[in-house]
Amino acid sequence: MGIMGILLAGILALIPCLPATAQDSGTITLNMTGAMEFSINLTPANWSFGTVTPNTVNTTDLTQFNLTVDSTSTCAINTYVTGEDAVWADDPGAYNWTLSSNAQNDIKVYVLWFKPDGGESYIPITKGQTSFYSGTLGPGDSKQFGLKLLTPQPDFTKGGTGYFSVGSAIVQTHVTISAVVA
Residues in contact with other proteins by CB under 8 A are: 33-53, 58, 65, 67, 70, 73, 86, 89, 91, 94-95, 112, 147, 149, 151, 155-156, 158-159, 161, 163-181
Measured from the CB atom, the residue of 95 and 122 that comes closer to other proteins is: 95
Nearer of residues 86 and 123 to other proteins, judged by Cβ: 86
Min. distance of Cβ 56 from other proteins in angstroms? Answer: 11
Minimum CB–partner distance for residue 26 and other proteins (Å): 26
Cα–Cα distances in angstroms (integers) from residue 111 to residues 5, 7, 49, 89, 107, in the given order: 85, 84, 14, 19, 11
Q: Report, in Å, the least distance between residue 36 CB and other proteins.
A: 5
Q: Distance (Å, rounded) from C-alpha 67 to C-alpha 115?
A: 13
Specify the residue, 20 or 45, whose C-beta has the smaller distance to other proteins: 45
CA distance 80 to 20: 61
Q: Which is nearer to other proteins, 103 or 166 (CB)?
A: 166
Amino acid at 123: I
Phi, psi of 79 (to 5 degrees): -125, 150
- Residue 43 to residue 17: CA distance in whole angstroms: 71
Measured from the CB of residue 148, what is the shortest distance to other proteins in angstroms? Answer: 11
